[in-house]
Structure formats: structure tokens, C-alpha cells
Structure 1
Amino acid sequence: MRKLLVIGIGAGNPEHMTVQAISGLNRADVLF
């Protein structure tokens, strides 16, 4: 089963990303 994760980082500063957001990005096969 595939999942669609939508991750927002607010103003765009990567330092404001949550641990869950980083984990999702690390697991992703495709990024847009």
C-alpha cells in the first residue's frame, strides 16, 4: 500500500522541520 505524505516547512527554513517530517522525507521514493 502506498502512502501520500504532505510535509510543510513553513517559511522554508529546514531547521524548523520536525523529526517526523525528516523521517518522512528520508523514507520517500519521490519528492515534488
Structure 2
Amino acid sequence: MGKLDGKVALITGSGRNIGRSTALKLAEKALI
């Protein structure tokens, strides 16, 4: 099990800068 199994990530500001980068990284690793 991974560290984030069973967890929910709420990413705000995903349209720009750090929020967008975070969303893309999580999606890249198939976490969302």
C-alpha cells in the first residue's frame, strides 16, 4: 500500500502555477 491509499487530495488553484504543477504530477503518477 502506498502512503496515499485511501486518502483524498483536494487541489485548489489547479489552473495555474503550483496547483497546476501539483495536479499534473499526481496525474502523472496515477494518484488521481
TM-score range, shorter chain: 0.3 to 0.5
> When the two structures are superposed, what TM-score results if normalisation uses the length of structure 2?
0.37
> When the two structures are superposed, what TM-score results if normalisation uses the length of structure 1?
0.37
